[in-house]
Chain A
């Protein structure tokens, strides 16, 4: 229930109507949306039980390691009810043709693979918020100062997921494990996304806000 309460509000993409409909406009819209969502996601992390009592340096490492996984998981959850489209925001839905125009066909296909996986499992809101917290605590940064405290945070969320599954899906003892086993694909897709946006940044044609740039650089 803590995790459900901590869930951030909706964000709208609000593409600039003055820009021509090309790849630059699509990527500008996505980077701007991501930057605003990142601010919300940092606020979200601070509301996770135990996160704010971690050392500040470790809070930073976890977010620097998992920010894209958290962003993508939110897109994936929003897209569960859409047909082969990614719902970046209610006002910004992208199909395969639009993703190709934006130069992101592989990323689009990769995220859709996650969507299909979770849709087949019937991913629930409670499971989504728990997985997102596990992904954050699972960032696997090499430079965590207090690994024991981070492990404790992860154990706490993991236990919440197990409790939930025991209560809601007692006939499916493998469900919690199957959900956790989707995290490698999430990590892989997030790595692909970070690489794509790093190369977009190097091209220098798309304006990016500072927080988004800062986190891209942390992964470069």
Chain B
């Protein structure tokens, strides 16, 4: 999961 942190973050953002 650490390897895909940007994708993870963008999916979690509410926008």
Name B residues whose Cβ lies closer than 8 Å to a Cβ of A: 3-8, 10-12, 15
Contact = CB atoms under 8 A, between A and B. Distances in A.
A60 B8 contact: yes
A31 B11 CA distance: 21
Contacts of A210: 6
| Size bin of chain A's contact surface | 10 to 19
B4 A214 contact: yes
A39 B10 contact: yes
Chain B contact residues: over half helix, strand or loop, or mixed?
Answer: helix
6 contacts: A42-B11, A43-B10, A43-B15, A211-B7, A211-B10, A218-B3
Chain A contact residues: over half helix, strand or loop, or mixed?
Answer: helix
B11 A214 contact: no
Contacts of B10: 39, 42-43, 211
B3 A217 contact: yes
A211 B12 contact: no
A56 B6 contact: no
B4 A60 contact: yes
A46 B11 contact: yes
Contacts of B12: 56
Interface in A5-54: 39, 42-43, 46
Contacts of A211: 6-7, 10
Contact of A218 (B4, B5, B15): B4
B3 A214 contact: yes
A60 B1 CA distance: 10
A211 B10 CA distance: 10
B8 A215 contact: no
A64 B11 contact: no
